[in-house]
Structure 1
Amino acid sequence: MTDSPAPVPSDTRIPRAVLRTVWVLIIGGFAAILDSTIVAIAIDTLARQFDVPVSTIQWVSTAYLLALAVAIPLTGWAQARVGGKRLWIAALALFLLGSVLCSLAWDAPSLIVFRVLQGLGGGIMFPLMQSLAVQAAGGRTRGMGRMMAVVTVPIALGPILGPVVGGLILNDLSWQWLFLVNVPIVIVGIALAAWLLPDDSSRITRPKLDIVGLMLLAPGLALILLGLSDIETGDGVGSAEVLVPLLVGIALAVAFVFWSLARRERALVQLRMLGRRTVASASTVMWLSGAALYGAMLLLPLYWQTLRGETVLTAALLLIPQGVGSLAARPIAGVLLERIGARALTMIGFALMALGTIPFALADAGTSNVWLSAVLVVRGLGLGTVLIPLMTVSMTGLAHDEIPQVTMITRIAQQVGGAFGTAILAVVLTTLLDGVTDTTGAADAFHAAFWVATGVAVLALLASLLLPGRERPVPSIADAEVAEGELAA
């Protein structure tokens, strides 16, 4: 009589070794994620400090964003070339060097150059953090949602806490602490990584670098983001500053698509992975989630300061309820994912984001800050919910070496989506504010922008229908091995 396969236990707890790896990655990567938004609130302060126009110092943020875009496509190749552990420590060290140099900057150009170093380190860390966490799970499908709930904590909180921390620093300390605050976090992160991250040197394959792919994709992404960033800083959609980099970037990106599909496994970023429904649907919705998240993050601080007359610090503190809601949602979302599936959970998340944005489109001068803060908790619950099912779906059924490829694809989708959403809302707001001198006109402009932000969340909700529904999980090889060990014990 043939023995039937051993059943897979229903226990979805994250193994201690995997959880340890995840927390090491979170501690090291949190500084880079926080730093991606912490400087945005200090643009005016830095412009006064270095006695340059805001249009010049804005490159402190733009250069960081472009460096991120250039580094992301290199992550998969670099991980295969030197190993994930070594690459993670090297990226942390590069980010640390950039942070220290930024604090020592003597003028605007030097600060911009040093921000590029920070961005290169951060651009590697963002996708690598997710890749190493999923690879540490060894192919397990059980408990993936709960693990993603932990992994995505800093990714969700960074854009929310960045302005808050920046406001607190600028209120009591010098601008240099915007960068020095990273130093102790990164040093601890390097030490923990060297001690606790598993050695993966045996998996080093030393592939050849796809130079043509790099020369197409890296500048293509950078130019697309540059064009969208110029829209945000006030250049018209039809201006040469916007159209030239945007069109050239799109042309390079399209050329890379054909190049990648032709080279298949040898491509810098293997777009053939988009042939899988899980990867394609998650990437599409991830693009919209970036637009919904970062677009509204442009509006909210401006709303508090411009329309309600709050200080920079007060505006930053008023964003805290959104972070609280996002943090509170994560453990709940990890459990719900396994019960109701990715599609339903993602739709719930975007519905909460829309509901948490509508009151800002209806608010008037008599609307209390207490009510709007409570609304931001609801919006935060939505923000904290959507990333978990999207990242989990994108990782479904992947082999070990495919994981870095998919993390690069989803990260690029979210990065470009964030820039696109920010640009759209910036166009709406600046167009409607043009020539407005009264409070009523300014309020109408913000109301329209918040309605557009609500529409983006609703569009993302509808796109979530592309995601797979709740399916009975098929145990992976790693799950079966774990099951046999647990039954034997």
Structure 2
Amino acid sequence: MTGAEACRPTRLMSLGLVAGPILSMVDSSVVNLAVQDLTRELNRPLEVVQWAVSGYLLALAVGLALTSFLARRFGLVPTYIGSLALFTLASAACALSPDAGALICCRALQGLGGAPLVPLAIGLLIGEGGAATGSGGRVPLAAGLAFFAAPALGVSLGGLLIGAYGWRSIFLINLPIGLLALPGAFAAYRAGLGVRGDRAVRPDLPGLMLLATGLGLATYGVERVAAHGWATPSWPIGLALLAAYVLWARRRPQAALALDLVRDSARAMTLALCGRGLAIGFTSQPLVIALLGGLAPERVPDANTLFSVAQRLAGSFGIALLVTFFTTRGAATGSPLTGFRETALVLAAAALLGTLGATGLRLASATGRRAGPDSA
């Protein structure tokens, strides 16, 4: 029985599926605001405290590499529930950390728990048989607004919390949100949303190592570009490992992350459009729907993880390139506003072209599916 047949989504379920990605997106950046406070209160140098940010990003890469296997092995909703519970408990542990070492370890656990939340929730909301099946694959308006505004509002709220209550408050705020979201996730499981796990699935350990290490080094290296320049060796090594994973996955029947979806030209183009690095909120919905359209429910974990990997790599490299361009152009003209205006135009054009292209793919995909039975 599919999710579409088993249930009609309730507000409680939607809350449970939307809250997890928001927590993960906000925590990716909000701790940057607390670095100076952490350095002072924990009495550790900046090089050590910075690992509270870097450790989270590295663990996020490992968790993202594991997402597809965990979802196929245990099911979409159980994996989502476990990830949300781990993220919530790790947030409480971060708030109670007595020193920098404990905080870094707890932040790594946060990253492991937070990584699957976005791709799994996307599939559970707008995948085949997902919570939005009855609405034509459209995420509810409130959910779209929340995804779009979460990073900016999270940083603003984080700054207010740090100023009023200290750095521990940015972790404690996750606790009530996570606890409120868990009942909705359990309701989705009881209603039969998402595909169940397959105990016959086995881990592809070499593939997981290549994918996790490559993604971690690539994103970690790019995060260091602003401070150390493009000469850092981490990101080229990461890209080389990712290329090695592509070669490995082509010969594996059960790879850690199946890549056969990109053999379809429409889905390959959809993943390429993720490279605009702006696939959040409303602009991501046509992309995700085009990617998931017509897929069997059991393929949704691979498709969602591919989308998240492409988006993460493109977002990291895109931001680093824009920062480099902004700095170089502003220094050359003597006016930082010149670089800002050109950057804003590039971002607006990329968003418009990406959204129009993805919408066209969605319409073409829907037309093809309608024409298929008639031609047969």
**Taking structure 1 as the reference length, what is the TM-score of the superposition?**
0.67
- Paired residue for 1:162, among 154, 160, 163? 154
1:34-45 → structure 2 map (5 Å cutoff): 34-45=26-37
Tell me the CA shift for residue 143 of structure 1: 2.8
Is residue 260–residue 272 contact of structure 1 (8 Å, CA) maintained in 2? no
Is residue 148–residue 282 contact of structure 2 (8 Å, CA) maintained in 1? no
Is residue 276–residue 351 contact of structure 2 (8 Å, CA) maintained in 1? yes
Tell me the CA shift for residue 420 of structure 1: 0.9
Could you report, residue by residue, the CA deviation over 1:37-93 in whole angstroms, capped at 9, with x for unpaired residues? 222222222222223344432322222122111111211211121222221221112
1:272 aligns with 2:250: no
**Taking structure 2 as the reference length, what is the TM-score of the superposition?**
0.85
Tell me the CA shift for residue 182 of structure 1: 0.4
Q: What corresponds to 2:208 in structure 1?
A: 214
Tell me the CA shift for residue 121 of structure 1: 0.4
Alpha-carbon distance in structure 1 between the residues aligned to 2:324 and 2:141: 34
Alpha-carbon distance in structure 2 between the residues aligned to 1:422 and 1:49: 30
Is residue 96–residue 168 contact of structure 2 (8 Å, CA) maintained in 1? yes
Q: What corresponds to 2:303 in structure 1?
A: 406
Change (3 A) 1:450 1:43: farther
Tell me the CA shift for residue 253 of structure 1: 0.4
Is residue 283–residue 355 contact of structure 2 (8 Å, CA) maintained in 1? no
Alpha-carbon distance in structure 1 between the residues aligned to 2:251 and 2:259: 10
Could you report, residue by residue, the CA deviation over 1:159-204 in whole angstroms, capped at 9, with x for unpaired residues? 1111111111022112111100000111122233224433479832
- Paired residue for 1:27, among 15, 19, 32? 19
Alpha-carbon distance in structure 1 between the residues aligned to 2:195 and 2:352: 42
Q: What corresponds to 1:386 in structure 2?
A: 283
Corresponding residue SS for 2:151: helix
1:51-450 → structure 2 map (5 Å cutoff): 51-135=43-127, 137=129, 143-147=135-139, 151-197=143-189, 198-199=191-192, 203-206=196-199, 207-232=201-226, 234-238=227-231, 242=232, 244-263=233-252, 265-290=253-278, 384-431=281-328, 441=334, 444-450=335-341
1:473 aligns with 2:329: no
Name the amino acid aligned to 1:247: P
Could you report, residue by residue, the CA deviation over 1:450-473 in whole angstroms, capped at 9, with x for unpaired residues? 523432442454456654354483
Alpha-carbon distance in structure 2 between the residues aligned to 1:283 and 1:449: 28
Tell me the CA shift for residue 384 of structure 1: 4.4
Tell me the CA shift for residue 432 of structure 1: 6.4
Say what the alpha-carbon RMSD is for the aligned residues.
3.2
Is residue 18–residue 136 contact of structure 1 (8 Å, CA) maintained in 2? no
Tell me the CA shift for residue 288 of structure 1: 1.0
Corresponding residue SS for 2:277: helix
Could you report, residue by residue, the CA deviation over 1:101-137 in whole angstroms, capped at 9, with x for unpaired residues? 1111222232122111001000011111112223573
Q: Which structure would you say has the larger Rg?
A: 1
Please identify, of 106-115 and 214-223, the stretch whose mean Cα deviation from structure 2 is larger: 106-115
Name the amino acid aligned to 1:219: T
Alpha-carbon distance in structure 2 between the residues aligned to 1:171 and 1:201: 41
Q: Which runs of 5+ in 2 are unaligned?
A: 1-5
Change (3 A) 1:192 1:406: same
Alpha-carbon distance in structure 1 between the residues aligned to 2:365 and 2:195: 34
Is residue 56–residue 110 contact of structure 2 (8 Å, CA) maintained in 1? yes
Change (3 A) 1:472 1:405: closer
